[in-house]
Amino acid sequence: MPETADADFPIVSGAPAPSQCENYSPDGMALFGDVHVHTSFSFDAAANSTGATPVDAHRYARGETIPFFPLNEAGEPVGRVSIDRPLDFLAVTDHGEFLGERALCHTPGSEIYATELCQHYRADERQALGMLSSVITMQTPRRIPDFCGEDGRRCLEAARQPWQAIQDAANEANTPCEFSSFIAYEYTGTPGTSNYHRNVIFRNSVVPDLPVSYIEAPIDSKLWSALDEVCSTEQGCDYITIPHNTNLANGGMAPYKQLEPTVENKRAYAEKRLQREPIMEIFQHKGASECINGLTSVLGSPDELCNVEAVRRMGGVRKYSARDENGELYPTQQVTRECGPDEKGSYGMVGAGCVHATDFQRSALVVGLAQEQEIGLNPIKLGVVAATDTHTATPGAVLENDWPGAVSGESSSAARLQPGFLTSGIDGNPGGLAGVWAKENTRDAIFDAMLRREVFGTSGPRIQPRFFAGWNLEDALCDDPDRATKAYAQGVPMGGDLEKSTAGGMPSFLAYAAKDPAGQNLAALHLIKGWVDAQGGLHTAVLPIAESAEGAASLCTVYTDQDFDPEQSAYYYLRVVEPPTPRWHTYDCARLAADERPPVCEQTHPDYPEEIREMAWTSPIWYRG
């Protein structure tokens, strides 16, 4: 095995920024935000009906009320919506691919505004989505000449104004020490109708003239190289990318896509990914990406919590529309199964196609451990956040009992209870939140936390988890008011590497979580472990390490892994679990008159249980055997 380890390629660029805030905390503070948000600037957003812009999304995130559904007869929003509690940070991530196309058809006086093409585009949200979405399902995408001209320049030039408006909204809302707003966009590759999306987050106000989209860079390695060309750290520009809803990827998030699989190419890819892609999205509106039961390539006991807000289950039947060789849609269905060794899946974005180990965080992480043994670098070394993926400009709208919907077709209780387009309607959920342990609420401090992977995700509640590993953690840390300070001194936090012990012994873990102040007490702490055995077999296990039958405001334990093998590479992360609470659809059912309720309201349904378990997940800690 090559000798070079991941630690030789540090991901943090430059020295930490100097403190700006009076409440600066060297041990960090838990901040909550949303890093996956769409407004009317996105070609597929329900916000095109309400007219909500990036400015509105920031207003909502900071606690203001914004216009919302329903619409009156003139198509104007007459409803109002506001968040239950303001967020600490935000990244509006409108799709980078079609900013210009949308602007051309929505801006009176543009070169093509009055054409039949644009009239057709403006007539209906779903229609507009269909007119453009075929571009991003291609392996070799090209802009549509009717919109953009043969060379595509018309759309690129038209994209400058909305891209500037996105920057202006973020820069105006950014208030150091109070609220941090990041300039960002979504890279929306969907080859074979499988998810290949990433959110691109910039550190500060120094950003490229235009987003680098899937059309310009149709594989991840080209995205990073193209961004490096237009976002130079020497000029103050810095960025990360965040893969999202990998549960719909059909193996598309596996490393080395379209690269000749030499060791040199694999190492170059892994080095760049370690630098630019430190975290992934574990939970959002389109379901959970933590784990799936039934994989044969990664061994582990069934975990019932893998089924919470799962839009894909092994053996499940998914009905969807596919295209024939002439491009015509036809109805079909598939049974969800595991991808073959060299199989390339498709239609993941509608919940169909085969499942690959890299589609889910728990199994993907152990695949990364195995690949590290081959090339000396781990190309799947990802911390975690969660998000909403709202398309209604409502970042952080995660309450089960007051969910306003996230995409087109979810603007009322009756609509949300129906099967939706893609994984929406009754198949969707309110999404989650990104959490960071930052030393202060500034762009630099939060960005640095993401780079070092000291981040976590929740399915909605503002649970605060902390997770450390070390060889000499004190058993009494849970009772120590300075436990975080001592844990930093004695070990490494979430997102870090536990180096080999020169004295031998077993690693210990400080696992702590505090409840959402406005939420439920906590029920349990689970330590999730993944490892590669001596024969190269891949394994995961769920270890319950703290429980409270009555529920507790906080849970804490110092746990030692008695099964530790110093020769085996492993990862560990913490999962925090709340007691069962009602799923969002039960509240919508109760809002409808009895004779208006669909069947899902009248009977227990295996795919839509009346109760769920809210959770939080920390980034892993890695050990290299």
144, pLDDT greater than 60? yes
List 559's β-bridge partners, or say none: 509
Residue 3: per-residue pLDDT: 46
What does the pLDDT average to over 553-560? Answer: 98
At residue 1 the predicted structure's pLDDT band, cuts being 50, 70 and 90, is very low
Residue 198 pairs with which residues in a beta bridge? Answer: 187, 243
CA distance 273 to 156: 27
Q: Is pLDDT at 8 greater than 50 in this prediction?
A: no
Q: Residues 449-507: pLDDT tens digits?
A: 999 999 999 999 999 999 999 999 999 999 999 999 999 999 999 999 999 998 889 99
Residue 195 pLDDT exceeds 80: yes
Q: What confidence score (pLDDT) does residue 10 get? A: 45
Q: Is the pLDDT of residue 16 over 70?
A: no
As a whole number of Å, the end-to-end CA separation of the chain is: 11
Report the chain's mean pLDDT, rounded to a whole number.
94
Cα separation, 326 vs 568, in Å, equals 51
Q: Are 120 and 97 in contact (CB under 8 A)?
A: no
pLDDT of residue 72: 96
Beta bridge partners of 467: 511
Percent of the chain having pLDDT more than 70?
Answer: 97
Q: Which residue has the tokens 């390539």?
A: 297
3-state secondary structure 558-616: EEECCCCCCCCCEEEEEEEEEEEEECHHHHHHHHCCHHHCCHHHHCCECCECCEEEEEE
Between CA 546 and CA 554 the distance in angstroms is 10
pLDDT tens digits for range 500-531: 998 889 999 999 999 999 999 999 999 999 99
So what's the pLDDT on residue 245?
A: 94
Above 60 in pLDDT, residue 2?
no
The residue ranking higher by pLDDT, 163 or 8, is: 163
Helix (H) or strand (E) holding 199: strand 198-202
Length of the chain: 625
**Residue 12's pLDDT is what?**
46
At position 363, the amino acid (one-letter code) is S
Cα separations (Å) of 349 from 94, 287, 320, 328?
Answer: 18, 11, 10, 18
pLDDT in tens, 332-381: 888 999 999 888 899 999 999 999 999 999 999 999 999 999 999 999 99
- pTM for the model stands at 0.96
How crowded is residue 604: how many other Cβ atoms within 10 Å of its Cβ? 8
**Which of 103-112, 318-327, 463-472 has the weakest average pLDDT?**
318-327
